[in-house]
Amino acid sequence: IITSLVFLLMVVTFPISGWFALKIVPTYERMIIFRLGRIRAPQGPGVVLLLPFIDHWQRVDLRTRAFNVPPCKLTSKDGAVISMGADIQFRVWDPVLSVMMVKDLIAATRMTAQNAMTKTLVKKSLREIQVEKLRIGEQLLLEINDMTKSWGLEVDRVELSMEAVLQPPREKLVGPLATVPPVPGLEGLDGTIQQLAAHFFNNTLALAGSGTGAPEAADSMETVNEVEPPTAPLLTTTGSTRRKPSADELLSAVEPVLSEALVSQVGASYQVNIALPSGARSTYFIDLSSGSGRAGCGVPEGSPDVILEVAEKDLQDLFLGDLRPLSAYMSGRLQVKGDLHLALKLEELVKAMKQRR
């Protein structure tokens, strides 16, 4: 009765009602109409008649569309930390299901694709992800389609995009030297040379303990001392004890390593807010955005690219190479306000300081 009355009213007020009741649907769209709350068969293409007051409608685009999965931080099977995103292409094959089953089609599909990508990539190593990117994309295509087919949606393509490798994979050394701990004083040497030196050092101690070859042991100890790097002003060594420098001493050690080459590698300005053991706070800046770079007390000129919040002890470990910036960030010891990628470039400054020592 209601439908008949509305139709009669539309006829009586025609042609004025025609401006509101007649809709043109293009070939690539379908119109889903709810009449008094009940869904009707998809309408279109062409001219579609809508009854005023009782019809509610929604257009559904049948063309192939695309969206991107924003980069997210993942840890691969071999311990590498990567930033990985994806580009998704999809199309609607059943307009009724796409309207009835899910409210926000793109948001739901993006979340589904992100979860599937995360579950798949954490089971693979960095090498597998780089080499088998196309095959992994095809596997994700099948998994996503299995979950979205009930929504009237079909994913046509999944293309993975690796934004950055935030942390390289952990290398597992094989052989008797892999379990030898690092020897104090040899931290600046290459990993393999350090292990060989440690292995030779342990053999020498074993000979000395057995009471044979004492002169050779003394010569060996003198040889190890010859390859030790000269003591830097920041590292006062007494036995195996190393004095950690204060924040002011760290700043004075930063200034000599600043160079145009370091600025070209980093290209950012940092403000470092340090929490001292006494409870006070001090602020320093490291400007590696222009020229040969500058460092000093206070805030930098202009707005810094990154603001770092760190305790003095953790800052000492960072600049002495005992703590990597990424590990400090992930453990919560380093708070970053700004671009994380720029914050992690501080490792270039740490490397330059180690080379100078």
Number of domains in the chain: 3
Report yes or no: 314 and 333 within 8 Å, Cβ to Cβ: yes
* 283, part of any domain: yes
Looking up tokens 């409210």 gives: 103
User: Mean of the per-residue pLDDT values for the chain?
Assistant: 76
pLDDT of 89 above 90: yes
How far is it, in rounded angstroms, from Cα 250 to Cα 228? 22
Tell me if 162 sits within 8 A of 83, measured CB to CB. Answer: yes
- Rounded to whole angstroms, the Cα distance separating 41 from 201 reads 83
Task: Please state, in angstroms and rounded to a whole number, the distance separating the CA atoms of residues 72 and 22.
Answer: 46
Q: Are residues 263 and 335 in the same domain?
A: yes
CA atoms of 268 and 28, how far apart (whole Å):
48
pLDDT at 215: 39
Q: Are residues 45 and 72 in the same domain?
A: no
**Given the structure tokens 């002169």, which residue do they identify?**
215
> CA angle at residue 231 from 227 to 234, to 5 degrees?
140
CATH of the domain at 91: 3.30.479.30
- Predicted TM-score of the model (pTM): 0.45
- Does 299 have pLDDT greater than 50? yes
pLDDT given for residue 9 in this prediction: 83
Contacts of 197 (CB under 8 A, 6+ apart): 183, 186, 189, 224, 227
Chain-centroid distance, C-alpha 109: 21
Residue 218 lies in a domain: no
Same-domain pairing of 83 and 143: yes
Q: At 38, phi and psi to the nearest 5?
A: -105, 135
For residues 263 and 351, state if they share a domain: yes
Residue 110 lies in a domain: yes
Spatial CA neighbour of 107 closest among 74, 148, 71, 158: 148
Distance CA 191, CA 181 (A): 11
Q: Are 121 and 74 in contact (CB under 8 A)?
A: yes
Please check the confidence at residue 311 and state whether its pLDDT lies above 50. Answer: yes
Q: What per-residue confidence (pLDDT) applies to 191?
A: 46
Residue 273 maps to a domain = yes
Which of 52, 48, 43 shows the shortest CA–CA distance to 8? 52
Domain with residue 339: its CATH number is 3.30.1050.10
Claim to verify: residue 35 and residue 124 sit in the same structural domain: no
What number is the average pLDDT over the span 215-235? 40
Domain endpoint, select from 22, 39, 61: 61
95 plus 136 within the same structural domain: yes
Which domain range does residue 147 map to? 64-167
Regarding whether 80 and 14 lie in a shared domain, the answer is no
Q: What is the pLDDT of residues 4-43, one digit of tens each?
A: 888 788 888 887 777 778 888 999 999 999 988 888 888 8
Examine the fold and report which residue of 167, 192, 207 is the final residue of a domain before the chain moves on: 167
Residues 72 and 36 in one domain: no
Given a cut of 50, whether residue 240 has pLDDT beyond it is: no
Q: Within this chain, do residues 252 and 346 fall inside the same structural domain, yes or no?
A: yes
Per-residue pLDDT at 63:
93
Percent of the chain whose predicted confidence (pLDDT) is above 90: 18
Query: Do 252 and 319 fall into the same domain?
Result: yes
Give the DSSP letter string of 279-344: S-EEEEEEEESSTT-EEEESPPSS--SEEEEEEHHHHHHHHTTSS-HHHHHHTTSEEEEE-HHHHH
- Domain assignment of residue 351, yes or no: yes
- Reported confidence tier of residue 242, pLDDT bands at 50, 70, 90: low
| H or E, element range at 138 | helix 133-148
Domain's final residue, options 167, 197, 225: 167
Q: Are residues 57 and 68 in the same domain?
A: no
Q: What is the pLDDT of residue 252?
A: 73
Note the pLDDT of residue 187: 47
Do 99 and 7 sit in the same domain of this protein?
no
Q: What average pLDDT score do residues 212-241 get?
A: 40
| Each residue's pLDDT tens digit, 158-179 | 999 888 888 888 765 333 333 3
Q: Is residue 104 part of a domain?
A: yes
- Average pLDDT (196-203) is 48
pLDDT of residue 155: 92
Any idea which of 37-51, 144-158, 183-197, 218-232 has the lowest mean pLDDT? 218-232
- 148 touches 129 (CB < 8 A): no
For residue 219, the SS3 value is: helix
Q: Which two tokens stand for residue 95?
A: 């307009």
Q: Tell me, what's the pLDDT at 223? A: 37
For residue 318, pLDDT beyond 80: no
Pairing mode of beta strands 65-75, 55-61: unpaired
The answer to whether residue 217 is domain-embedded is no
Q: What is the pLDDT of residue 227?
A: 40
The tokens of 183 are what?
A: 């020897």
Residue 225 located in a structural domain: no
